[in-house]
Amino acid sequence: MKRSLGVCYYPEHWPDTLWREDARRMAKAGLTWVRIGEFAWSRLEPEAGLLQFDWLDCAIAVLGEAGLKVVLGTPTATPPRWMIERHPDMLAVDQNGNPRKFGSRRHYCFSHSGYLTECRRITRLLGERYGRNPHVAAWQTDNEYGCHDTILSYSDAARHAFRDWLAQKYQSTDALNRAWGNVFWSMDYRSFNDIDLPNLTVTEPNPAHVMDFRRFSSDQVVAFNRAQVEVLRPLTDAPVAHNYMGRITEFDHYKVGADLDIASWDSYPIGFLSDRLEATPAHKATFLRQGDPDFQAFHHDLYRSVGRGRWWIMEQQPGPVNWAPYNPIPLPGMVRLWTWEAFAHGAEAVCYFRWRQAPFAQEQMHAGLLRPDSAPAPGLLEAEKVARELADAPEVGDSPADVALIFDYASAWAWDTQPQGADFDYFRLVFAFYRALRRLGLNIDILPPDAADLSRWKLVLAPGLFTLSPDLRAALPSCPGQVIFGPRANSKTPDFAIPADLPPDLPGLKARVTRVESLPPGIAVALEGGGQFRHWAEEVETRATVRLRRADGLPALVQGGNLGYLAGWPCDATLHSLLAQLCADQGISTLDLPEGVRRRATSRVCFGYNYAP
């Protein structure tokens, strides 16, 4: 597979006299792809029905003639102002009941059927015009579902669609009342039309109600995306992608990904470090100009799974960004390092965001590969270097992993709905496991919660998985090594209740969680041998083998057959030694990498990364 580079470009931001020179410089820099169009609706259709596609025809021709391949975005993340006149109730509504107004982007509710029809229409017009254009070699639907907290909408459109969704799921309000436990606090419903969205309640709404709203909201994104894919399929043979984000868990990316050919994501390592990661001030200072050593890799592995092997970086940070609380300049070499790390994890393409820094509007402080005056910015020189290196680099090869980690979006919704401890966050928990495995120098595969075959991995980890799917239950015997669940795994039914026989209810593992506690920062439960549980600890009754105990004698890790259960959230050091031991048990060799150094071994090349300053 040929790895390639690209860039995001906004021809509508620049005079058309610049396009040819820009295209020439892109090609000369060694770039292959150019993504365009994803915010251009107001220039494609300045008034409802008044279509002006000539400039896009011309931009695509200019780029294509320079030898570039176009990724064409559907412009549905930025409905123009006239759209609000046509559909005044299409705006998303926040949790406090306030409409999210026009004046930036993503101001639509996924449930609004009128807006969905408009999106189908513009997608069809683009597909008809460019679906067979030889220069348009890939498509992107919308832009960053979930950006700016836009998945959950409490609009009238959402309320009506949610009632329909519930009626389909439960068929009768009796069934719904039973499933949700609505006898509690006299919350019974007599009609689906009485059911509201779970916001603005006096205190916590019923968690089963919230959980269904989260499932519904995710399904709305899947349906919205699918509508565009269905329009495009007959009109083009080019692959269709969406650009996902870092640490966005509000919708099920596996389900969106099932309709697409390629998963792509937008990687902003320095922005993420300051604004999307729990870490000590010392960690944030150490990695200030490099980004966290594991955050990007986690998403590379996640999106490789979402894309069923095919994935890209659609937007790569090229220099300082504008949107984090503080926006430092990357150390020299980091743009190159981030790019190569993506290739090591199997990316087909890495596209930089953006070509030229825009001197106007919201993102004027965001770097591009060019400065606003068109001179090269430092990021361009690093991109050019990677382009030269790619030309004579060997094939990366595939990267077999012995260890897999399950990542489940519904678990993120569940523990967000009832965290029980203020800092119990599902992503944080899974990411702690991922980081510990990376420190051991391992390749890691990320699996969906319905993985049906575990035969390729010697160690499979499922921390915090809120329910065990029938598929995964059936797949457990296929793992030739160990599957370790917990903490908090399988501790709810799909209806968000405590299972009748108590968790974890794993086949053949004689253990029951009888009590749980959450722990404030600074408080730990000591383990035998010096380790600690933080955030969360469980009391377990068991007749299975106890592999590790707490200092008070209670079981910390129990094992039966090829299944294990971990009864707490280990601190980072404990997780590191525990996972090293579990790997050793399976004959998986590990390293103890120094701070900031990471490794990825492929069948042909072994990559080493120094994230340290």
List of residues contacting ligand GAL (CB under 6 A): 143-144, 147, 266, 268, 315, 321, 323, 353, 363, 366
Distance CA 510, CA 559 (A): 9
Q: Are 29 and 387 a contacting pair, CB within 8 Å?
A: yes
- The minimum distance between CB 465 and ligand GAL, in angstroms, equals 29
Q: By three-state DSSP, how is residue 81 classified?
A: helix
Return the C-alpha torsion angle 44, 49, 50, 52, nearest 10.
30
Which residue lies nearer to ligand GAL by CB, 105 or 226?
A: 105
Catalytic residue among 118, 315, 384, 538: 315
* Distance of closest approach, residue 72 Cβ to ligand GAL, in angstroms: 15
**Crossing angle, helix 156-170 and helix 173-180, to 10 degrees?**
90
Task: Give yes or no for a contact between 38 and 71, defined as CB atoms under 8 angstroms apart.
Answer: no
Sign of the alpha-carbon torsion through 67, 68, 69, 75: negative
> Which two three-digit tokens encode residue 558?
């129990």
Could you tell me the smallest distance in angstroms from the CB atom of residue 469 to ligand GAL?
31
Q: How far is CA 35 from CA 45, 63, 374, in A?
A: 19, 10, 19
Determine the Cα–Cα distance for residues 319 and 322; give it in Å rounded to an integer.
Answer: 10
Q: Output the smallest distance, CB 139 to ligand GAL, in A.
A: 16
Which residue of this chain has its Cβ atom nearest to ligand GAL in the complex?
144
CB of 335 to ligand GAL, least distance (A): 14
Closer Cβ to ligand GAL, 270 or 554, answer by number: 270
Burial class (CB in 10 A: 0-12, 13-18, 19+), 185: exposed
Is position 541 annotated as part of the catalytic site? no
- Which two tokens mark 273? 């470090």
d(CA 530, CA 549): 11
Q: Which helix (H) or strand (E) holds 535?
A: strand 532-542
Is beta strand 532-542 parallel, antiparallel or unpaired with respect to 524-526?
antiparallel
Closest distance to ligand GAL from the beta carbon of 269 (Å): 11
Secondary element (H or E) of residue 70: strand 69-73
Residues 6+ apart with CB under 8 A from 528: 548, 549, 550, 551, 556
Report whether 424 contacts 535 (CB < 8 A): yes
Which of 45, 144, 382, 538 is the catalytic position? Answer: 144
The answer to whether the Cα torsion of 351, 356, 360, 364 is positive or negative is: positive
Sign of CA dihedral 52, 58, 64, 66: negative
CB of 144 to ligand GAL, least distance (A): 4
Nearer to ligand GAL, 268 or 609 (CB): 268
Q: Which is nearer to ligand GAL, 151 or 157 (CB)?
A: 151
Cα separation, 564 vs 489, whole angstroms:
11
Nearer to ligand GAL, 314 or 437 (CB): 314
Cα(35)–Cα(26) distance, integer angstroms: 12
Nearer to ligand GAL, 27 or 324 (CB): 324
Q: How far apart are CA 572 and CA 380, in angstroms?
A: 37
Q: Is 539 a residue of the active site?
A: no
Closer residue to ligand GAL (CB): 275 or 541: 275
The minimum distance between CB 373 and ligand GAL, in angstroms, equals: 20
- Minimum Å distance from CB 149 to ligand GAL? 12
Indicate the residue type of 460.
V
The amino acid that residue 572 corresponds to is D
CB of 316 closer than 8 Å to CB of 267: yes
We find the least distance from the C-beta atom of residue 327 to ligand GAL, in angstroms, to be 10
Nearer to ligand GAL among residue 39 and residue 170 (C-beta):
39
Please say which residue, 144 or 445, places its beta carbon nearer to ligand GAL. 144
Residue 405, classed as helix, strand or coil, is strand
Q: Which is nearer to ligand GAL, 35 or 304 (CB)?
A: 35
Instruction: Give the C-alpha distances (Å, rounded to integers) separating 433 from 71, 87, 152, 400, 460.
Output: 35, 46, 28, 19, 11
Catalogue the active-site residues: 144, 315
